[in-house]
Structure 1
Amino acid sequence: MFTGIIEDLGTITNIENDRDNLHLTIKSAITPELKIDQSVAHNGICLTVVDISGDTYTVTAIKETIEKTTIGHLQPNETINLERAMKLGDRLDGHIVQGHVDQVGVCTAVKEENGSWYFTFTYDSSLGNVTIEKGSATVNGVSLTVVNSGKDEFSVAIIPYTYAHTNFKHLKAGSNVNLEFDVLGKYIQKLYEARL
């Protein structure tokens, strides 16, 4: 479980294809605190640490993860959002995030407005995912409040701190992002569909 509160920005130092798998090596300030077998969210994708060397660590993505997220499009020197799994008893500052990406969305607009930014994202609503006004959504692992909700799109407002400390500052119209929808909303949607 994660909270969607980003701890650090990591830099991809190496990407290696190994049959259907993808090994990513990441440089991060949190590396000395990691251990092998630990779960870390990378742009919202929960991956297991498989190797640690100095200030870098390596994770492996399998074929399903590559097909359902943006991880296969990452490049060396790219910046990614990082969060370690939450500890039992810690405060839940964001919302409950599983690190299981529901689908890839597309940023369609970025609007700066008096010191904050509004980002709009579209997604394939036929997959059964929904957002609601003032509900939660996770974009590239960042826990956010939905400020505008439509059938297949939603917007979020980004404060200067979040803009400076996540990779939101690199997003633009046309950028693909990992989306994880609110887990409670997903259960309610499934129950509703089952009753129809």
Structure 2
Amino acid sequence: MFTGIIEDLGEVVALKKEHTNLNITIKSNITSELKIDQSVAHNGVCLTVVHIDKDTYTVTAIKETLDKTALSEIEVGDSVNLERAMKLGDRLDGHIVQGHVDQTAECVSVENKNGSWVFTFDYDSNLQNITIEKGSITVNGVSLTVVNSQINRFSVAIIPYTYEHTTFSSFKKGSKVNLEFDVIGKYVKRLDDLRR
């Protein structure tokens, strides 16, 4: 379980294919605090630490993960939003995030608002996921509030701190991102669908 509050920007330093899996090695300021078998969210994708070496650690993404997330497009040198699992009893500063990506989206516009930015994303509405105005959404692991909710499109407003301390500073039109929709909203929608 995560909160969507990014702790660090890691750097991808190595990628190694192993059958259909991809081993991703990350250099990070939080590596010294990690341990083998620990869950860490990478751009919103919960992955298990399988190896640690000095200031780098390695996680493995299986084919299912690569097929359903934007991790399939990751390259050496890319920055990655990192968050360790939430501790019970800590403040929940973001919202309840599982680290289970529902689908990907494409950035369709970036608007500089003279002190903030508005990013708009399109996603495939055939997968039955929804946003609501002022509801929660996780974009590449970042807990955000939805503005301008539409059937297959939504926007988020980004403050300078978030822009500078997450991968949002690298997004441009056409960037592919991971989405995790609000867990409570998903259950409510599922129950409503079952009643019909």
- TM-score, normalised by the number of residues in structure 2: 0.99
Q: How many residues are paired up?
A: 196
- State the match for 1:165 in structure 2: 165
Aligned amino acid, residue 164 of structure 2: A
- State the match for 1:72 in structure 2: 72
> How far apart, CA to CA, are the structure 2 residues paired with 1:74 and 1:151?
28
The offset of 1:36, in angstroms, is 0.3
Aligned amino acid, residue 35 of structure 1: K
Structure 1: which 5+ runs fail to align? none
- State the match for 1:189 in structure 2: 189
| 1:125-140 → structure 2 map (5 Å cutoff) | 125-140=125-140
> How far apart, CA to CA, are the structure 2 residues paired with 1:95 and 1:67?
26
Alpha-carbon RMSD across the aligned residues, in angstroms, is: 0.4
- State the match for 1:122 in structure 2: 122
Aligned amino acid, residue 117 of structure 1: W
The offset of 1:104, in angstroms, is 0.6
For each residue in 1:140-168, what CA deviation from the matched residue of structure 2 results, as whole angstroms up to 9, or x when unmatched?
A: 00000001100000000000000000010
> How far apart, CA to CA, are the structure 2 residues paired with 1:154 and 1:185?
15
> How far apart, CA to CA, are the structure 1 residues paired with 2:59 and 2:182?
25
> How far apart, CA to CA, are the structure 1 residues paired with 2:72 and 2:114?
35
The offset of 1:126, in angstroms, is 1.3
SS at 1:190 equivalent: helix
- State the match for 1:56 in structure 2: 56
> How far apart, CA to CA, are the structure 2 residues paired with 1:98 and 1:50?
20
The offset of 1:72, in angstroms, is 1.3
SS at 1:149 equivalent: coil
The offset of 1:64, in angstroms, is 0.3
SS at 2:111 equivalent: strand
The offset of 1:56, in angstroms, is 0.1
> How far apart, CA to CA, are the structure 2 residues paired with 1:72 and 1:131?
25
2:114 is the alignment partner of 1:82: no
The offset of 1:133, in angstroms, is 0.5
> How far apart, CA to CA, are the structure 1 residues paired with 2:33 and 2:182?
29
- State the match for 2:98 in structure 1: 98
- State the match for 1:113 in structure 2: 113
> How far apart, CA to CA, are the structure 1 residues paired with 2:72 and 2:148?
29
- TM-score, normalised by the number of residues in structure 1: 0.99
Structure 2: which 5+ runs fail to align? none
